[in-house]
Structure 1
Amino acid sequence: MKFNVGCQLDYTIESDTVFIFNFEVARIPNHSDLVERLTLSPDVARVTHESPENLNRYLRAVATPGEFSASYEATVDLNVYRADPTTINETPIRDLPLDVLPYLLPSRFVPSDRLADFALREFSAFPPGHMRVSNICSWIYRNIDYVRGSSDSETTATEILIQRAGVCRDFAHLGIAFCRALGIPARLTSCYAFGLSPADFHAVFEAYLDGRWWYFDATRQAALDGLVRIGVGRDAAEIAFSTPFGAMTPKGPPRIWIDRADGQPEPSPRTTDAISTDEPHSG
């Protein structure tokens, strides 16, 4: 399925500000026929970097005092891998590729070690594999309220469990924490999400099962087969769409869009398949 995606970010710059942006579509094999255009206004010098395995694409730009904007648009053909969730098992820790180890350990916003007792008590009885992670998402959906403004950039998964309210990144952080506490590697994913209303940079998570990374969205707000990945990280600290260093003020929230390139206005019915956009991975 082919999508048009993009964003517009506008700022007022008070003093020289270094921006690290991460909003470009990931160059992964399941994103094919990628055509994109990036515009900085004014057109300042830029430096780009792609992390190993094309997990993240970083752009650095230095803006001087005045008005500054970054505009990005792309067309991409999204190819997903589907499977029956009941056939997807957990990978024993002794068999995990060593490069997924960071996604099994606690991180800044995901203190999974502090939530281990709770996770074991609530979820250890469920059948292991994709179905266990799906049950984690169902528990979060039933027990955590989606409330805009209920959390901020410093809120951790532990705090979300206590206050029982958050936004998409908080739902994802909590799902990641429970997975890691159960020995399942999990990571945060930022994406353009078809079907999300209003459109925004969306945060979901991926769990490593049976040699692949699989998508999960505890908010249930977007179609898993309509997620165009931007980047992945241990938690939100690693995949912010904009990280500024300097005195600046955003001119309102970013404008984000995603629509089908074939002109179809609505997402397809929500699939019950397990969805992945990664190639098999064995380390």
Structure 2
Amino acid sequence: MRFKVGGTLAYEVLEPSTFIINIHALHTPAQTLVEERFTVDPAHHIEELSAAHGESRFIRLDAQQPGMLNITYSALAETSVKLIPADQLASVQLMGMDTSVIPYLYPSRYCQSDKLYRFAHNHFGHIDSAFEKVLAITDWIHDHVEYLSGSTNSQTSAYDTVTELAGVCRDFAHLGIALCRALDIPARYFTGYACQLNPPDFHACFEAYLGGNWIIFDPTHLIPLNGLVKIATGRDAADASIATMFGRVNGLSVTASCELADEGFEPIYYVDGQLSGLSYL
């Protein structure tokens, strides 16, 4: 499927500052960029960088003069996904795990899986199938954590979310990741543009490593799982922030959009009895 995606960021720069901007869609075997455009107004020195293992594309922007700064990105992305039968999505033994996957087993800043070990095993440890275990985690979060805009901030962690039972997509994803890791299932943060999200925004969900594949899960249940355009993955939101500023800067606005560019889109959701997992790789 093809999607038209876009994002805008607006700032007031108060002193010479450097920005790391992470709103470019990724180039992957399953995601092709037919066209894209990135503009900065007023013009500043920019440099495009890529993470070591292709988890994200960054723009490093050097704003030497105080004033307003407007950043605009747009792209036409073509994505393909694959459905993998649940019986092929077993847990991967640590001895056979690729070294690039192992870091996604560890606790991280926002995903304190070590603090949630007992909770995870008490609620989900009895489920034999790894895929069904992650589905159960996803459904528990959806059913027990209230989606509440403005209820959390940049310091909120998975442990806070399971305590307060409220959050936004970022918090839902962090909790899903932490619970998976507590059950020895590698999991990573996924941020992207999301089709049919209302209101439009950048969206966070997570991927679990099952049967040698990264399988997408969205505890918010707000979007079709095959309606995403990937921007970045990481251990948690600290690795996949839309923008990071070094200097005195006031954030003014952030917008995102994702629209279908093709007809015939058939949305996919995980429901009771789902027999397949969906992968973007």
Aligned equivalent of 1:24: 24
Specify the SS of the correspondent of 1:130.
helix
Distance in 2 of aligned mates of 1:230 and 1:269:
20
1:262 aligns with 2:265: no
Counterparts of residues 175-194 of structure 1 (less than 5 Å): 175-194=176-195
Residues 22/33 of structure 1: CA separation in 2 closer, same or farther (3 Å cut): closer
Distance in 2 of aligned mates of 1:163 and 1:86:
35
Distance in 2 of aligned mates of 1:262 and 1:152:
36
Percent of counterpart pairs with the same letter?
37
Structure with the higher helix share, 1 or 2: 1
Counterparts of residues 154-169 of structure 1 (less than 5 Å): 154-169=155-170
Specify the SS of the correspondent of 2:173.
helix
Aligned equivalent of 1:42: 42
Q: Is the 8 A contact 1:41 1:68 kept in 2?
A: yes
Distance in 1 of aligned mates of 2:34 and 2:183:
37
Q: Is the 8 A contact 1:205 1:217 kept in 2?
A: yes
1:103 aligns with 2:104: yes
1:227: Cα distance to partner?
Answer: 0.9
Q: Is the 8 A contact 2:233 2:239 kept in 1?
A: yes
Out of 27-36 and 160-169, give the one that drifted further. Answer: 27-36
Specify the SS of the correspondent of 2:150.
coil
Q: Is the 8 A contact 1:233 1:239 kept in 2?
A: yes
1:130: Cα distance to partner?
Answer: 1.2
1:59: Cα distance to partner?
Answer: 0.7
Aligned equivalent of 1:11: 11
Specify the SS of the correspondent of 1:133.
helix
Q: Is the 8 A contact 1:86 1:131 kept in 2?
A: no
- 1:38-63, CA deviations, whole angstroms, 9 ceiling, x for partnerless residues? 00111111111111332110111012
Aligned equivalent of 2:75: 74
Q: Is the 8 A contact 2:86 2:131 kept in 1?
A: yes
Distance in 2 of aligned mates of 1:246 and 1:34:
35
Specify the SS of the correspondent of 1:177.
helix
1:274 aligns with 2:277: yes
TM-score calculated relative to the size of structure 1: 0.94
Q: Is the 8 A contact 2:207 2:214 kept in 1?
A: yes
Q: How many aligned positions are there?
A: 275
Distance in 2 of aligned mates of 1:17 and 1:130:
45
- 1:147-199, CA deviations, whole angstroms, 9 ceiling, x for partnerless residues? 00111000110011110100101001000001000000000011101111111
1:263: Cα distance to partner?
Answer: 6.3
Distance in 1 of aligned mates of 2:33 and 2:141:
36
**RMSD (Å) for aligned C-alpha atoms:** 1.3
1:240: Cα distance to partner?
Answer: 0.5
